[in-house]
Amino acid sequence: MQSTYTRRRIITLGAAAGATMFVPGIQGLALRTEQKQYNTRTPRRALVLWYSQTGHTGRIGSLIAAVWRQMGLAVDSSDYRNFDAAMLGQYDIIAMGTPVFYMDVPENVRQYLESWPAIDGTAVASYTTFGGSGNNQHNTVCMVLELLAEKGGIPAGMDVFGNMSTYAPTWSLGNAERTLRYRHLPGEETYNHARAYARDVLGNVQNGRVLEIQREFDSGSILRHMPQVWGDEAYDFNAQV
Task: Provide the 10 A C-beta neighbour count for residue 192.
Answer: 12
Give Dmax over CA atoms of the chain in angstroms.
Answer: 57
Q: Would you list the domain boundaries of the chain?
A: 42-215
Is the pTM value of this prediction over 0.75?
Answer: no
pLDDT digits (tens, 9 = 90+) for 98-128: 998 877 899 999 999 999 999 999 999 999 9
Weakly modelled stretches of the chain, pLDDT under 70:
1-35, 131-135, 163-187, 216-241
3 state SS of 156: strand
CA-based torsion, 174, 175, 179, 180: positive or negative: positive
Helix axes 188-206, 56-70, angle to 10 degrees: 50
The closest alpha carbon to 69, from 45, 85, 51, belongs to 45
What is the architecture of the domain spanning 42-215?
3-Layer(aba) Sandwich (3.40)
